[in-house]
Amino acid sequence: MNERFWLLKKIKIHPLFWAVAAIAAVTARFQDLILLFAIIFIHEMGHAVAAQYFSWRVKRIAILPFGGVAETEEHGNRPLKEELIVTLAGPLQHIWIAVFAHVLFRFDVLPGQMYTQIGEWNRAILFFNLLPIWPLDGGKLLNMAFSTVYPFLRAFRMTICCSFIALFLFHAAALLNAPANLNVWAIVVYLYAALWKEWKQLYFVFIRFLLERYYGKREPLRHLETIEVDAGAYLYEVLESFKRGRKHPLIVLKNGVEVGKLDENELLHAFFSEKQTNAKVSDILYNY
């Protein structure tokens, strides 16, 4: 119980939500505002409780007009299964919300108009959050799909690029259907800003992934994936080929012939502890 109260302390209301609240106050749509907040709150608590169950470090839970963002201190080194559960824990809340509202309506506890409003907001928030746009749930699912095939950095770069395209298409559709909707404009501006920020911090996110892989809590890496690297390759080039959830033994080649083997931890140690950021694989191989 104390852990649940601890999660409540992490909740922060984003300024955009207050802006939407002000619009609701001017237009006397308080009921819509309360329903919106309640659905978003339940959605985000689904993420937060699932993250806490797996002992993730929850940084904050931001409530936004279209959903929320449960920020954690995990940087791509948790098992994909855990991340999938944490990501889906939010959208799954919308199922019991719909069922619960329907039961209340059938027993005449919930007025028909409010039941309709709950259904509309519930579906809207669910489907919007499943759009393939980072940092929405759909964007996170897209990144997980890319991460199963591509290295961490490439997968995240592809996620941001695809998110920009999806957001542009959503923005174009919104302009055609609701050009004067201030809520939509607030959402779109926030997402463009969030994506631009992620793009600028792409390598910072990648370095955090590597740092946690080297210094952080050791999660069991069940899958080995050998990487063949040229002796003349730079360390950072090899590190960019690292995948999440994979342990990488390295086979070092020179002129196509194997000249030695390295463990990924040896590269990480040289890169972070010994500050050999411009070293080549051959430098590390002969040092060991």
C-alpha span between 126 and 229 (Å, rounded): 44
Nearest by Cα to 23 from 176, 184, 218, 226: 184
The tokens of 282 are what? Answer: 């051959």
Query: 3-state DSSP call for residue 222?
Result: coil
Nearest by Cα to 79 from 190, 180, 223, 198: 223
Residues recognised as catalytic: 44
Positive or negative, the Cα torsion across 124, 147, 53, 65?
negative
**Cβ atoms within 10 Å, residue 22:** 11
Which helix (H) or strand (E) is 252 found in, with range?
A: strand 249-254
